[in-house]
């Protein structure tokens, strides 16, 4: 008997009776859609140098399309909800996110507060709807059933990485007047710094993007059999690591460093297990040779940038110039406060977590509640009133807790733990066959991102790709295309 929806016999039920390979083609298209559409939105915003909530329409479209196709796969019974612990975790995460939003509603605050919780803060747009879109992207990524789908998505991400890095290079050239919001840093009175932000809307956000895509680029450059693709991935890795230094942020330095450290460990384990991989074409015929050359080039670029322009860390100036001088969503920063960005943001976050431990202050409402109520910090001699109020925690875990509550943080950490643990187990398939390099690529990218997130921030221009990779890592049925055809 053919499958039907709710026992009907309508012809529209052909969706449920499609071959598995056909469903995978649709999922393939949706996943590419999830990468390309946010990039188009980010490009429009960056080139026009405007701030509008319409930017997130691209994110909503991808996220809720993801929900739709996840529902189709579940109705077909290709996947079962309780067979994947990630689904239970994400359902609870979504529940606690909704609870956080209704925490704002129940406090009977003004309509602007509720609008912020729904759509997000001006220029940030990470409210309830965006968070739900992340979950939709994650869910459709868990439905993938072919390796080639994952690799196709990787190719698009690498293309996006090259595009953004070239954009970042143009932003960094003095006198070119290429679209950039960070040519100057009003806070700190630093002129003509020409900081790169790519299409990520902030140098710090771009640092997170560099981390995520570099993880894929470095591993792909080392283990990909196709020499053309390997070279393109290597080019992306070099460009991303170089432009990360143009941000004057600690985030890409930490992120790329972690990518290289994790890659070194993977290379060591690969050879310790006796894997003898050889490539055809070129002179770099082993992963070790490719690894040595790539690491040498990246370190050489770092040395050249250091000698030519210097390496600077200006995260505090970037963050306050962005939130106050560009977006006007926080109070004025104190010019005499010697505290670092992280001391200011972390202390203030912890204070509000203590006040709203279960629901948080509301999705993306961290800046708004500080302007609305001031602060009740335990050390007012350091931070008082709305002076030095900040819109982000500059620690992804604290930001999750302060905006959506400790239960949401627990679910987020549980999902990361499950994904990384499963990825470690799946690595055995890579050690058996190096063509499965997408497995260590996902592990490297996500692990490096998770580490740099202690100093970074969630952004709608970057985080959708993190949730997509997290979904791949927890997918239960990634098999060869031939197997899928046989099973369809």
Token representation of residue 151: 């690799």
Tell me the CB-side half-sphere exposure of residue 251, using CA atoms within 13 A: 36
Given a contact cutoff of 8 angstroms between Cβ atoms, the answer to whether 408 and 100 are in contact is yes
Q: What is the pLDDT of residues 423-475, one digit of tens each?
A: 999 988 898 888 899 999 999 999 999 999 999 988 999 999 999 999 999 99
- Position 283 scores a pLDDT of 81
Range with lowest mean pLDDT among 56-65, 275-284, 449-458: 275-284
**Integer Cα distance of 316 and 221 in angstroms:** 34
pLDDT greater than 90 at residue 24 = no
> Of 119-123, 256-260, 380-384, where does the model show the most confidence?
256-260
> Helix (H, G, I), strand (E, B), or coil: what is residue 193?
coil
pLDDT greater than 90 at residue 118 = yes
Question: If we measure between CA atoms, which residue out of 219, 258, 129, 139 comes closest to residue 438?
Answer: 219
Question: Which residues does 36 contact at the CB level (< 8 Å), separation at least 6?
Answer: 156
- Position 17 scores a pLDDT of 67
More confident of the two residues 407 and 478: 407
pLDDT confidence of 484, banded at 50, 70, 90?
A: very low
Give alpha helix (H) positions in 321-395.
341-355, 366-373
- Position 81 scores a pLDDT of 87
Question: Which residues does 151 contact at the CB level (< 8 Å), separation at least 6?
Answer: 438
Say how many C-beta atoms besides its own lie within 10 A of residue 155's C-beta.
Answer: 17
> Helix (H, G, I), strand (E, B), or coil: what is residue 370?
helix
- Position 374 scores a pLDDT of 59
Question: If we measure between CA atoms, which residue out of 229, 214, 223 comes closest to residue 270?
Answer: 223
- Position 10 scores a pLDDT of 53
Report the b/e string of 334-346 with b at 16+ CB within 10 A: beeeeeebbebbb
Query: In degrees rounded to 5, what are phi and psi of residue 185?
Result: -120, 95
> Helix (H, G, I), strand (E, B), or coil: what is residue 294?
helix
Report the b/e string of 286-314 with b at 16+ CB within 10 A: ebeebbeebbebbeebbeebeeeeeeeeb
pLDDT confidence of 481, banded at 50, 70, 90?
A: very low
Token representation of residue 27: 């999922």
More confident of the two residues 283 and 192: 192
> Helix (H, G, I), strand (E, B), or coil: what is residue 23?
helix
Question: Greatest CA separation found in the chain?
Answer: 74
> Helix (H, G, I), strand (E, B), or coil: what is residue 185?
strand
pLDDT confidence of 16, banded at 50, 70, 90?
A: low
pLDDT greater than 90 at residue 231 = yes
Tell me the CB-side half-sphere exposure of residue 358, using CA atoms within 13 A: 4
- Position 23 scores a pLDDT of 77
2-6 CB contacts, 8 Å cutoff, 24+ apart: 3/75, 3/76, 3/77, 5/75
Query: Positive or negative, the Cα torsion across 400, 402, 405, 410?
Result: positive
pLDDT greater than 60 at residue 6 = no
Find the Cα–Cα–Cα–Cα dihedral 183, 184, 185, 186, rounded to 10°: -140
Please give the mean pLDDT across all residues of the chain: 87
Helices and strands: H and E segment counts in the chain: 18, 0
Mean pLDDT of 344-350: 93
pLDDT greater than 70 at residue 419 = yes
pLDDT confidence of 378, banded at 50, 70, 90?
A: very low
**Integer Cα distance of 412 and 99 in angstroms:** 15
For the chain, give the percent of residues with pLDDT over 70: 90
- By CB atoms closer than 10 A (0-12, 13-18, 19+), residue 278 is exposed
Q: 286: left (phi > 0), else alpha (psi -120 to 50), else beta?
A: beta
Integer angstrom CA distances of residue 33 from 58, 78, 137, 410: 10, 22, 10, 30
More confident of the two residues 422 and 281: 422
pLDDT confidence of 383, banded at 50, 70, 90?
A: very low
Given a contact cutoff of 8 angstroms between Cβ atoms, the answer to whether 364 and 392 are in contact is no
**Integer Cα distance of 238 and 300 in angstroms:** 10
**Integer Cα distance of 231 and 26 in angstroms:** 29
Question: Which residues does 470 contact at the CB level (< 8 Å), separation at least 6?
Answer: 138, 141, 415, 416, 419, 446
Q: What is the pLDDT of residues 287-321, one digit of tens each?
A: 899 999 999 999 999 999 999 999 999 999 999 99
pLDDT greater than 80 at residue 47 = no
- The DSSP annotation for 446-471 comes to HHHHHHHTTT----TTTHHHHHHHHH
The DSSP secondary-structure symbol of 332 reads P
pLDDT greater than 80 at residue 51 = no
Give alpha helix (H) positions in 128-175.
128-141, 147-171
- Position 382 scores a pLDDT of 40
Token representation of residue 87: 């689904």
pLDDT greater than 90 at residue 247 = yes
Q: What is the pLDDT of residues 181-220, one digit of tens each?
A: 899 999 988 989 999 999 998 999 999 999 999 999 999 9
């Amino acid at each position: 008997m053919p499958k039907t929806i709710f026992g009907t016999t309508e012809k529209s039920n052909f969706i449920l009776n499609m071959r598995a390979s056909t469903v995978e083609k649709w999922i393939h298209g949706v996943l590419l859609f999830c990468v390309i559409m946010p990039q188009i939105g980010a490009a429009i915003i960056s080139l026009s140098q405007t701030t509008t909530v319409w930017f997130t329409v691209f994110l909503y479209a991808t996220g809720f399309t993801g929900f739709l196709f996840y529902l189709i796969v579940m109705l077909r019974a290709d996947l079962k909800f309780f067979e994947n612990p990630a689904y239970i975790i994400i359902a609870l995460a979504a529940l606690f996110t909704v609870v956080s939003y209704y925490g704002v509603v129940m406090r009977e605050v003004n309509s602007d507060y509720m609008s912020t919780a729904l759509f997000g803060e001006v220029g940030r747009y990470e409210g309830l709807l965006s968070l739900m879109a992340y979950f939709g992207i994650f869910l459709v990524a868990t439905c993938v059933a072919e390796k080639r789908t994952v690799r196709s998505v990787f190719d698009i991400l690498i293309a996006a990485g090259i595009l953004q890095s070239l954009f970042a290079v143009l932003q960094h050239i003095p006198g070119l007047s290429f679209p950039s919001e960070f040519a100057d840093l009003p806070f700190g009175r630093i002129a003509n710094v020409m900081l790169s932000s790519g299409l990520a809307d902030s140098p710090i956000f771009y640092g997170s993007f560099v981390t995520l895509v570099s993880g894929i680029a470095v591993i792909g450059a080392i283990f990909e059999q196709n020499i053309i693709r390997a070279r393109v991935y290597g080019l992306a890795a070099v460009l991303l690591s170089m432009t990360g230094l143009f941000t004057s942020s600690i985030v890409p330095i930490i992120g790329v460093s972690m990518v290289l450290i994790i890659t070194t460990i993977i290379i060591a384990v690969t050879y310790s297990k006796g894997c003898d991989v050889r490539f055809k074409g070129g002179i770099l015929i082993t992963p070790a040779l490719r690894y040595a050359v790539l690491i040498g080039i990246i370190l050489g670029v770092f040395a050249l940038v250091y000698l030519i322009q210097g390496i600077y860390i200006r995260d505090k100036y970037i963050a306050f110039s962005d939130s106050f001088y560009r977006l006007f969503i926080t109070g004025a920063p104190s010019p005499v406060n010697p505290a670092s960005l992280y001391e200011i943001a972390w202390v203030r976050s912890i204070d509000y977590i203590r006040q709203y431990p279960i629901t948080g202050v509301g999705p993306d409402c961290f800046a708004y509640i500080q302007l609305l109520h001031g602060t009740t910090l335990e050390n007012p001699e350091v931070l008082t009133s709305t002076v030095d109020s900040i819109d982000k925690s500059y620690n992804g875990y604290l930001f999750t807790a302060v905006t959506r509550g400790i239960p949401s943080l627990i679910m987020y950490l549980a999902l990361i733990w499950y994904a990384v643990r499963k990825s470690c187990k799946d690595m055995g398939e890579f050690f058996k066959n190096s063509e499965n390099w997408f497995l260590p690529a996902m592990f490297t990218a996500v692990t490096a991102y998770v580490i740099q997130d202690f100093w970074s921030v969630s952004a709608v221009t970057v985080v959708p790709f993190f949730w997509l990779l997290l979904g791949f890592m927890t997918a239960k049925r990634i098999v060869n295309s031939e197997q899928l055809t046989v099973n369809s």
